[in-house]
Amino acid sequence: MSDVTVIGLGKMGSALAQALLKGGFQVLVWNRSPEKAKFLASQGASSAQNPGEALAAAPVALVCVTDYDASDVILAEAAPYLAGKILVQLSTGTPQLARRGEAWAMEHGAQYLEAKITGSPQSIGTSSAHILVSGALAAYNNAEHVLRALAANLDYKGASIGLASAWDMVMIMHYYGMFLSLFHSVQICQAEAIPLEQYEELLGEQNQGYEKWLVGNIRTGSYLDTSAPLDLWVGGIKRVSEHARECGINAAFPEFVSQLFQQAVDAGYGREEVSAVYKVLETQAH
């Protein structure tokens, strides 16, 4: 038996498994592409042959894959092994999907938590890590010792399962507004021959380090491969748009942002920094 299972070994899933190993947990991992487990095996993790074996072997299972669609396929295969387990869903989704996931897990005898990581894979296991969690308090109490190994700032939002996803959307929406106002400010600078270095200096004086860095990307034409690529931001705004439509909230702004960001992905910039959206605006300006 292991202490915890990690299903999904992308950048974030691998970071979760490494932090748990460093925390002294016995970790079992599974990924659809087995080669991704080799590095973790060299650090002491065990590897499962299939999702059912992964769930059967530990009381707590963390699921960290692309989205609920991917998670649903994996969990459907492993459903007979869910009874008595605590399932922690870290895959991206909306509050509506969290409610559906909780109902499904309860039908199969499992406790269910929704968890959302607000930082990068590099933050996991450090003092800067922040994870939003929602779900039944009993489930949270039973899984807290595992989650504490991942984030010093473990932010339990309450028993209503959709709260972690809702708070995640609340937090990321700030950035979409900032991105578009920032990119428009750059266009003003360029239209009026204001050197971008001066705009960067202003942002530095205002302690807006991330914004300053994004303007530097545009100025130098360096849109780096990053742990928070445009693909990730596109997924985030699509979830916000979906949530707005389902809840009857005006979806005009998130849908506009979603269309613009999707244009950048369609242009081949999906693995670049979010500042690559500016290349689409620049093209349209001409």
Domains of the chain: 4-160 (3.40.50.720), 166-285 (1.10.1040.10)
> What number is the average pLDDT over the span 237-247?
93
Q: Please report the pLDDT score of residue 228 as a whole number.
A: 82
Query: Per-residue pLDDT tens for 29-55?
Result: 999 888 888 889 899 999 999 999 999
CB-CB contact of 102 with 161 (8 Å): yes
The pTM score is: 0.89
Assign 1 a pLDDT band (cuts: 50, 70, 90).
Answer: confident
Q: Please report the pLDDT score of residue 27 as a whole number.
A: 97
Dist. CA 208–CA 205, nearest whole Å: 8
Q: Please report the pLDDT score of residue 34 as a whole number.
A: 81
Query: Per-residue pLDDT tens for 124-149?
Result: 999 999 999 999 999 999 999 999 99
Assign 22 a pLDDT band (cuts: 50, 70, 90).
Answer: very high
Q: Please report the pLDDT score of residue 285 as a whole number.
A: 61
Query: Per-residue pLDDT tens for 50-71?
Result: 999 999 999 999 999 989 999 9
Q: Please report the pLDDT score of residue 225 as a whole number.
A: 73
> What number is the average pLDDT over the span 143-162?
96
> What number is the average pLDDT over the span 184-209?
94
Q: Please report the pLDDT score of residue 13 as a whole number.
A: 95
Q: Please report the pLDDT score of residue 36 as a whole number.
A: 84
**Percent of the residues in the chain that have a pLDDT greater than 90, as a whole number:** 88
Q: Please report the pLDDT score of residue 226 as a whole number.
A: 75
Give the list of residues 6+ apart from residue 125 with CB closer than 8 angstroms, or none: 15, 18, 19, 22, 23, 149, 150, 151
Dist. CA 149–CA 114, nearest whole Å: 17
Dist. CA 83–CA 111, nearest whole Å: 8
Dist. CA 264–CA 244, nearest whole Å: 23
**Percent of the residues in the chain that have a pLDDT greater than 70, as a whole number:** 99
Q: Please report the pLDDT score of residue 74 as a whole number.
A: 94
Average pLDDT value for the chain: 94
Q: Tokens 């009857």, residue?
A: 248
Q: Tokens 């994870």, residue?
A: 131
